[in-house]
Structure 1
Amino acid sequence: MDQYCDGKSKKPGTKSRRCRCSATMLTMLLFVITNSVSVLLSSGAGAFLLRRYKPDSVRLWAWDDSAALLDDLNATHRFQDDLERYMEYKPGGECPSDEALAHQLMRNGCDPLPRRRCRPPSPARYVQPAPLPKSLWTIPPDTTVVWDAYRCKNYSCLAHGGGEFDLRGREKGRWMRDDGALTYSIDGVLAARPNGTVRIGLDIGGGCGPGAARMRERGVTVVTTTSMNSGGPSGSLIASRGLVPVHVSPAHRLPFFDGTLDIVHWTPELGSRPPPVTDVSLEFAVFDIYRVMRPGGLLWLDHFVFSGEQLSATTDRVGFRRVRWNTGKKLVSALLEKPMT
Structure 2
Amino acid sequence: EIGGTWDLFRYPGIRSDSDMFTLGYNFRPWTDTKMLADGPSIRNYIEETAEHHQVHKKIHFGLKVTAEDWSSEFNRWTVTALNEETGEEEVFTAGFVLNCTGYYNYDAGYTPKIPGINRFGGDVIHPQHWPDNYDYTGKRVVVIGSGATAVTLVPAMTDRAAHVTMLQRSPTYVASVPEQDLISKNLRRVLPEMLVYRMARTRNILLQRTVFNLSIRKPKAIRRLLLAAARKQLGPDIDMKHFQPHYNPWEERMCAVPKGDLFKVLREGKASVVTDHIKNVTKTGIKLESGDWIPADIIVTATGLDLQMLGGAELRVDGTHVNLSNTMMYKGLMLEKVPNMALVFGYTNASWTLKADIIVERQACKLGV
TM-score over 0.5 for the pair: no
TM-score scaled by structure 1? Answer: 0.23
Q: Output the TM-score relative to the length of structure 2.
A: 0.21
Decide which structure has greater strand share: 2
